[in-house]
Amino acid sequence: MRMIVAGLVMLAASPATAALSGFYDSAEKIATILGSEAVADALRQAPVGAITNTGTTKDGADEWTVRTQDCDLVVALTAQPLPEGMVGKATYDLRIATPCE
């Protein structure tokens, strides 16, 4: 019984973590992509036909492909760490992994 009580106390004392559902996390990633000036410039302001999650890069970043009529732009998204002890939704840093040619 003491072990159970001790376990519950430890659990209650641990910092809380929050996670968005996969839907809202994907929406945050897509918003990061569409809101990026670097992406707009790399696509030469062309209309977007599709945005697809295409896997994970070797360094662990989420890989997304943004397709236009003339280009398949590959971007990598990395979650920004939250300040110590803080919880909340993730925000992402974007880098262009494979530019349009």
Both tokens assigned to 17: 């973590």
- Residue numbers of the domain that contains 75: 19-98
Residue 2 lies in a domain: no
* Percentages of the chain per state (helix, strand, coil), in multiples of 5: 30, 30, 40
Asked if residues 34 and 49 have their Cβ atoms less than 8 Å apart, the reply is no
Residue 47 lies in a domain: yes
Number of domains in the chain: 1
Residue 5 lies in a domain: no
Which long-range contacts does 93-97 make (Cβ < 8 Å, 24+ apart)?
Answer: 94/32, 94/33, 94/36, 94/38, 94/39, 95/61, 96/38, 96/39, 96/42, 97/57, 97/61, 97/63
Residue 10 lies in a domain: no
Residue 65 lies in a domain: yes
Residue 3 lies in a domain: no
Residue 11 lies in a domain: no
pTM: 0.77
pLDDT digits (tens, 9 = 90+) for 11-70: 444 444 456 788 999 999 999 999 999 999 999 999 999 999 999 999 999 999 999 999
Residue 8 lies in a domain: no
